[in-house]
Homo-oligomer: A and B are copies of this chain.
């Protein structure tokens, strides 16, 4: 655990430039607007250790799969999140000296991310030879003009005289740090000194993946008036320099606006015109006015989604940080996008779509964003069905296999134990359809497009199981469960359970599907009988003596001991132990059996949940960011409120406190919803199955109260849990809910429970 920023309800701020953990600071101060984003790199550059990163949603490169030993079924390419050309740079010299916080003298450093609207500010006093200059920076990526970035820097001479240059740049000479092959992914096409723009294209590829072309354009302003600096270009780069002389006490404020258009929206030949038009729109209003419009959008979002925690400022900061970072990553504006594990904050993992979206994001977004946002996430998967069919065919199997990692629906990850085996992802895709339908009551998706997805997945399961003659049961061999610290196991309880759930749900929904799609799908009676046979005769590893579901065959043969026996200096084990040791160990990376109890919550007794929780939680090292939240929800349900609170902290402040020692690579965007789930499904005990909204609220010991909003079937509810529980209907038709098992009728203005 490492806490670099001060605790504050709406700010993530620090008075300390941490040169050792600069990358961690950069990750946490990343900002984005769903269209693009960047790490908290410094405008003026920084020669110390740093991870430079700017990312554009949906702009990627298919990088040839390189493995020591090719295995049939491997995808041809890995979908690499590429570092995009940067619009951030404003190099600064004072009396000929480069301002560089890695080497310059400075004082009064302050860096703050305002969570309310993703505004990053920074200030410090530069100390030169006989001169002191205070610098104040601000940046945000607009929510109203998605292609626009606003940066400003104000210099005030506190002492002496300062001859200063500001070198505002556009930089396409960027690389990926983890590319492993020192490759560049961008080819410069054109630099236009007059238009102050550069255009670049991703390298060609042999896989039929479109090349992306981007155009970056900048303008400089002083006092809201455009100024023209000295422009120079080199291949893939543009520099615009302005020079000022400032006497003691004088200030100078420079604004840099940037426009980024990509071939995802604008054809390459039209990009210059489009960017000029957008820049005109930008020029029509001041920085302050743009920031105000941007903030207004955020106000609307927070009105539906803010969570208030009283009595625990760190917990408060954690949940707001997570909500803000999630919304900076995705708010449903572009249906071709999804939510990558690092969002716009790092280049690791590759791909932009993981099962995380369905398993962890969907249940939160359903409640805090308009329904069409979640619907867009579902539609995304339907749109990628051809890729899922392709993936299954690659493995010689029928039906649809959704990818573990993808940009375009086609699997792009090359570890066989993941790509070929972590097939439980398919169940999560289906479960999101169930969740959407159960939460919203909107059956239009599952009756048509969703049904195509469900049947595709069902056909995959039906081909992937095998019938064991010996036991006369169906089995699923050779899988990796959610607990990726086990590979190629047989009969992962979660996978078997969810596969059967999916077949059941598909059969059930098929009977109610739209006639045209049911006809087109052509599921035969024989297929249905086969599915039913699998449902009826699936094998599930269990242990009667312990009264638990067994994670997989042979799991109980392990040297079972609590994760608390691992010496502290060997945690996280994935940074200290060789892979074979991790695999042999009994330690669980993330909820596996418990993930199933979480998903299919209404199917299991409290005693079953308790026995399994008590058995598995002590074995769990939570080295996946996705783990603590699920445990927190279950712990709360089981009345283990202290455990739930501990796990809440871990999920809510995973990045702020760098629990897993890896936030320097980027934030854990897709697990950020976990803190919300821990509060709403955990402490407040919210459930929505069987068309019935229910709560069973509890209050963590050190919290005074917590409040959150829910958007449910056209209603906006406010839930307030303190010494008393108060659920009120802010908007929408009357609603009958259940609190602590008792029916409560809610109407607007009359919603006290």
Binding site for B on A (CB under 8 A): 65-69, 71-73, 78, 180-181, 394-397, 413-417, 420-421, 466-471, 475, 477-478, 487-488, 490, 553-554, 556-560, 574-581, 583-584
Contact = CB atoms under 8 A, between A and B. Distances in A.
Nearest to A413: B68
B578 A395 contact: yes
B477 A584 contact: yes
A554 B478 CA distance: 11
Given A67-B67, A477-B554, 6 more contacts: A68-B78, A72-B577, A396-B578, A468-B557, A469-B560, A477-B557
B558 A415 contact: no
A415 B557 CA distance: 25
B579 A72 contact: yes
A645 to B, nearest CB: 32
A65 B67 CA distance: 9
Given A558-B468, A559-B469, A395 B580 contact: yes
B73 A488 contact: no
Contacts of A471: 557
A559 B466 contact: yes
A93 to B, nearest CB: 37
A180 B66 contact: yes
Contacts of A73: 578-581
A578 B72 contact: yes
Contacts of A553: 553-554, 557
B181 A66 contact: yes
A415 B68 contact: yes
Contacts of A65: 68
Contacts of A67: 67-68
Given A556-B470, A559-B469, A578 B475 contact: no
Contacts of A574: 72
5 contacts: A66-B66, A68-B78, A72-B579, A397-B581, A477-B554
A71 B579 contact: yes
Given A181-B66, A581-B396, A584-B477, A487 B490 contact: no
Nearest to A471: B557
Nearest to A473: B557
A557 B478 contact: no
Contact of A420 (B415, B469, B579): B579
Contacts of A397: 581
Contacts of A560: 469-470
Contacts of A417: 417, 488
Nearest to A469: B560
Contacts of A490: 554, 557
